[in-house]
Amino acid sequence: MNTRLRTTMIQCGLSYEGLAAECGVIPKSVQRWITQERIPHQRHRWIVTQVLGVEETYLWPSLRHQGAVDTMNTELIQTYANRASVPREVWLSLLADAMERIDVLVFSGTFYAQTNPRIAAMLTERADSGTCVRLCFGDPDGTAVARRGQEEGIGDTLGAKVRASMTYYRPLVARPGCEVRLHDTTLYSSLFRYDDNLLVNPHVWGQPASANPVLHLRRCGSEGWFDNYASSFEAVWETANPWSPTSGA
């Protein structure tokens, strides 16, 4: 079964009939693409990739030239000009669908809660379902947050934003499967991982993270962008200190 095509259709809210209508084929054809792993004609592939917003080599890896290593192209699902350009539905669906892990690495992550008032409840629901939830924020008293605030020209404001953001996650600390830590490292990218989906928000010097692009990656192998960023999360996580509401942050 072509699980990549099926999963992407589900995330986009498309049925067999819906995608068939877009491509001008019968629903049975779409079913064959999935259940029998048949590769559509080129004109239909082009429509599918436009409708689903993914590269055709992600949906049909065999289209790559034999012997060519093109993991990067198959991992990059979508790019956004800035963080506000990422549809709210993308954030919500990725979080709601995560089954194994949710990893977040930010300085303050203020937007994460402000754009989704139910963020703590949703994370709790995922943890109660067996999903490992790890949230890593900047230490408001650390040198990295202070330096970042100076670079952005906002002084001590970033530290205050971290403290304000942390109030949303107080209920999570006592929940099994949830852990919150504070890091004091230079953050080159904010990371939001949901199983094999990863939203990467690179940082440009002197600019707030919200003004910078977002890359949507989907893991395809063990030597691509996805694993490089995932490894960086693990490295920061190992140096971060556990946080609790009574720690004063």
Contact 229, 189 (CB under 8 A): yes
User: At 181, is the secondary structure helix, strand, or coil?
Assistant: strand
Q: What is the dihedral of CA 39, 41, 43, 47, to 10 degrees?
A: -30
Measured N-to-C along each axis, helices 27-35 and 3-11 cross at an angle, to the nearest 10 degrees, of 130
Distance of alpha carbon 242 from alpha carbon 15, whole angstroms: 44
What integer pLDDT is reported at residue 69 of this predicted model? 42
Distance of alpha carbon 112 from alpha carbon 79, whole angstroms: 19
**Cβ-proximal residues to 202 (8 Å cutoff; 6+ apart), any chain:** 188, 189, 212, 213, 215
The pTM for the full model equals 0.72
- Blockwise average pLDDT, block size 10, the chain, 249 residues: 90 93 92 89 87 87 57 73 90 92 95 89 94 96 95 92 92 90 96 96 90 90 82 96 78
What integer pLDDT is reported at residue 42 of this predicted model? 80
Contact 220, 74 (CB under 8 A): yes
241-242: strand order across its sheet: 76-80, 214-218, 197-202, 189-194, 101-105, 132-138, 178-183, 241-242
Q: Are strands 132-138 and 178-183 parallel, antiparallel or unpaired?
A: parallel
